[in-house]
Each structure stands twice: as structure tokens, then as C-alpha cells.
Amino acid sequence: MTIGVIGLGYVGLITAVGFASLGNKVIGVDVEKAKIDKINRSEPPIYENGLKEKLKEVNPNLTATTDMSALKNCEIIFICVGTPSRKDGSIDLSYVKKSAEDISEIIRKSDAYRVIVVKSTVVPGTTESLIPILEKSGKKLGKDFGLAMTPEFLREGSALEDFFNPDRIVIGAYDDKSKEAVSKLFKGFGQNKFYTKLKTAEMIKYASNSFLATKISFINEIGNVCKKLDIDTYEVAKGMGMDKRIGREFLNCGIGFGGSCFPKDVRALIAKAEELDEDPKLLKEVMALNDRQPLKKVNLLKKHIPDLKGKTIGVLGLAFKADTDDIRESRAIPIVDALLREGAIIKAHDPQAEENFRKLFPQIAYSSPEEVLNSDAVLILTNWKSFENLNYKGKLVLDGRRVLKAKEADKYEGICW
């Protein structure tokens, strides 16, 4: 099939590379020229496991461009642009709407039937709200073009692996014709497909992310209590997780969740609920606890070093989680911010995220992990595997992510254990 992908960020690029690797012709469009040039040189614009090799492999099947009209022969067009938070937490749909306007121009000039598929995370009702924009083309939904919504569940760090082996594929479709076209594309992906309505597919994504975020805030709350009782929360999580109704995943207590999805999506669902006159107290507390949790780390540090002014603090890990260069809503941001306000001198290291972090914090030093360990105290904020190979002997280490090797430190304390 010939597939178009609008927005070549984490989701769009993986979608484009994935479908190209399955033998489809893929045309990817993005507004960022530098990103397009990199992709066409088979250089990954983001860090993602295996992406470098895959980009080279799919080169003949993947073209990237800033020219939207290149999508004119595509049978399926995915919208994968960002859906950031507005100041009040509600979702900013301007990039999605702009994409729909651009697609409207494409379908206006052609009589070929095609299906528009929203893959960006959008609040329920959004995909349907694009119908009038798309029909500005003079073409009719159902007859001249189709519409679907397939939420994305990939995890950064293992995004390609998740593309090829997804737990499930949710396909919300406007009508049977749209459903058939999208099913054809996902034909080789096994049995775990769930067909539903457009807005149900949209809600499945929000409910899933909100549930996982709730699990993290839940275990952090339990962890804060365990810490005071001298109980290892990881043992509690292990015991809980043996119950298959609960499951062990997402019960790793620490400094909270970050990334481009959980905080933004929970906030967007809260805003949507409020718009509907609901008061989603549970979700609000999930976010409030997540905002408090990184500051607990600073308080823990001050228990050991009450006055941080002029003290050198080493920070290991800046990405919101291991195996990515993504720092969006990373818990390292409020922690570094608080340390700077206390007058601390910061030396930081991350295997992939320093370039991104430097744009936010140009005033701190970026050093080798060995140099970072040479500080008055070391904070572990991301559990990169390589941190298991460092020598922590003789140091004061405060761990926010459970790096077992760090327990060899002279003084070691975990945030919830």
C-alpha cells in the first residue's frame, strides 16, 4: 500500500519506518526541514533502540518531505502530530486541525478514495470534529474518503519492538469501508485487534494511560509510607504483583512519572471531564502526588546536607526514563530546578539526553559519570543500565530509581525504600 504519515516525531517516524519495513511505500511529511534532511540521509533525528539500522534498511521505501502535496497518491494518511497541553491542562488540537486542513486540500484535488487515520492521542470526539474540516474539500465522508482512529501504545525506548509486536491494536472506524482499509494494512499483526467506534478508541488510549499513571502514583504513596516504616516497597510490589489481578508492571516506586504522554494525557482527561461538569478527584490527586514526589528527593538530600549552597551535587540520569533521549516532563527538571534555587552546583550525566537537557539548563555542568560521582552527593534520577557498572564505593548516593549496584555506596538511601 502507499501510506502517508504527517508528523515524524517519535510516533510518526516509528509508524513510517515500521510500515516501510513491511514493504509499503511510505511518504512522511513534517514541518521541520532539519528533521526531514536527517531522515533522508538515514540518520535518526531521535534516539531509539534499533532505529538507526532500520532507517538504513527501509531507505528505498521511505521518503520524507516538507511538501504536503506529496501525499496525493496515498491510500491511507496517518495524522501523528503532537497534541501538547495548553496552560490550563486541556489539549491543544491546533496541529491536528492544521493537518486535517492540509489533507482537505489534497482530497479536494483528487477523486481517489483514501482513509484518514488519526494516531495522535486526542480527547474523545476530536476525530469526528475533523469531519467538517475534511469535507471543506467538497468531498463526502463515507463515499469519497474514510476516517479511522488508531491510538498508539508504543513505549519510547522499545518503540520498534512494540510496533512489530503490539499487545493489541485498537481500530476505531467511521464505517465498514474505513475499517476494511485499515484492517488490510494491519493484516499481518496477529489476532489482538479490537474494532470499535471512533470516540471509544480515543477514550481507550486516555483510560489506559490514566490507569498506568494511577498505578505509579499509587505505589509511590504506598512507598512513602513504607519508607517511614522501614519496609522495602519493591518487596511489597513483588508480593502484590504475584496476584494476576494486580500484575507487577508499573509498580516501581520512585520519583514519579514523566514523558510526553502520561502527564499531558491525564491533564487532558481531567480538563475534558471538567468540561462535562465532572470532578475527577482521583486523577487530580494522581497528578498532585506526581508533582510532590520529586521534591521528596530534594528533602531527602537536605536530611543529609541541610545547606546545599555551594555544595556539588551529581545527577545521574536526565531522560524521563532509560533508553530514550526524551526529557519532556522528566522528573529531573523540577529536581534540578529546586537544587539550583538552593544554590547547589550541579554536575550531570545522561547517556543520551544531555543535548536536550542543555537547552533547558545551559548553566549546569555536563560530565562523565565518573566525574559526576565525584560530588558531595549523587542523585540517581533515571535507571540506565550503564549505571549498574559504576563504582559507588565511598559515596553518598540517594537513589530515585532503584539502581542495585549503588547500594555499595558508603551511605545509600532510596526515595521509597
Query: Of the ranges 8-16, 109-117, 239-247, 286-294, which one interacts with ligand NAD (CB under 6 A)?
Result: 8-16
Mask 10-29, x = binds ligand NAD (CB under 6 A)? xxx----------------x
Closest by CA position to 206, among listed 263, 253, 256: 263
Give the separation between CA 310 and CA 166, rounded to whole angstroms.
49
Task: Provide the minimum distance between the beta carbon of 196 and ligand NAD in the complex, in angstroms, as a whole number.
Answer: 18
Beta strands in 224-368 (DSSP E): 312-316, 345-349, 365-366
Give the separation between CA 319 and CA 382, rounded to whole angstroms.
7
Q: Which is nearer to ligand NAD, 329 or 399 (CB)?
A: 329
Q: How far does Cα 104 stand from its chain's mean position?
A: 29
Backbone angles phi, psi at 72, to 5 degrees: -60, -25
| 83 binds ligand NAD, rule: CB under 6 A | yes
Task: Provide the minimum distance between the beta carbon of 153 and ligand NAD in the complex, in angstroms, as a whole number.
Answer: 6
Give the separation between CA 281 and CA 214, rounded to whole angstroms.
12
Task: Provide the minimum distance between the beta carbon of 66 and ligand NAD in the complex, in angstroms, as a whole number.
Answer: 8
- What is the size of the binding site for ligand NAD (CB under 6 A)? 26
Q: Which entry of 80, 253, 261, 416 is annotated as an active-site residue?
A: 261
CB 244 within 8 Å of CB 237: no
The neighbouring-strand residues paired with 194 are 170
| 390 binds ligand NAD, rule: CB under 6 A | no
- Residue reference for cell 517511614: 228
Residue nearest to ligand NAD (CB): 9
Phi-psi region of 193 (alpha: psi -120 to 50; beta: other; left: phi over 0): beta
Q: Which is nearer to ligand NAD, 202 or 350 (CB)?
A: 202
Query: Of the ranges 76-84, 226-234, 338-346, 394-402, which one interacts with ligand NAD (CB under 6 A)?
Result: 76-84
Query: Of the ranges 78-86, 217-225, 235-243, 361-369, which one interacts with ligand NAD (CB under 6 A)?
Result: 78-86
Output the nine-digit C-alpha cell for 298.
530534594
CB 354 within 8 Å of CB 348: yes
Task: Provide the minimum distance between the beta carbon of 193 and ligand NAD in the complex, in angstroms, as a whole number.
Answer: 18
Task: Provide the minimum distance between the beta carbon of 319 and ligand NAD in the complex, in angstroms, as a whole number.
Answer: 12
Among 16, 80, 107, 204, binds ligand NAD (CB under 6 A): 80
Three-class secondary structure of residue 310 per DSSP: coil
CB 125 within 8 Å of CB 202: yes
- Residue reference for cell 563504582: 391
* 3-state percent breakdown (helix, strand, coil) of the chain, nearest 5: 45, 15, 40
Three-class secondary structure of residue 284 per DSSP: helix
Q: Which is nearer to ligand NAD, 35 or 54 (CB)?
A: 35
Output the nine-digit C-alpha cell for 87.
496552560
CB 213 within 8 Å of CB 290: yes
Mask 240-279, x = binds ligand NAD (CB under 6 A)? --------------------xx------------------
Q: Which is nearer to ligand NAD, 120 or 367 (CB)?
A: 120
Output the nine-digit C-alpha cell for 339.
537544587
Q: Within 13 Å of residue 107, how many CA atoms lie on the same side as its CB?
A: 29
Q: Which is nearer to ligand NAD, 133 or 365 (CB)?
A: 133
For ligand NAD, the binding residues in 89-108 under the rule CB under 6 A are 95, 98-99
Task: Provide the minimum distance between the beta carbon of 13 and ligand NAD in the complex, in angstroms, as a whole number.
Answer: 7
| 202 binds ligand NAD, rule: CB under 6 A | no
Query: What stretches of 6-90 show up as alpha helix (H) in DSSP?
Result: 10-21, 33-40, 51-58
Task: Provide the minimum distance between the beta carbon of 82 and ligand NAD in the complex, in angstroms, as a whole number.
Answer: 4
Q: Within 13 Å of residue 137, how many CA atoms lie on the same side as its CB?
A: 23
Among 18, 28, 44, 82, binds ligand NAD (CB under 6 A): 82
Task: Provide the minimum distance between the beta carbon of 7 and ligand NAD in the complex, in angstroms, as a whole number.
Answer: 3
CB 119 within 8 Å of CB 130: no
Q: Is 261 a catalytic residue?
A: yes
Among 24, 61, 104, 121, binds ligand NAD (CB under 6 A): 121
| 156 binds ligand NAD, rule: CB under 6 A | yes
Query: Of the ranges 16-24, 80-88, 299-307, 376-384, which one interacts with ligand NAD (CB under 6 A)?
Result: 80-88
Rule CB under 6 A: which residues touch ligand NAD?
6-12, 29-32, 35, 80-83, 95, 98-99, 120-121, 152, 154, 156, 260-261
- Catalytic positions are 261
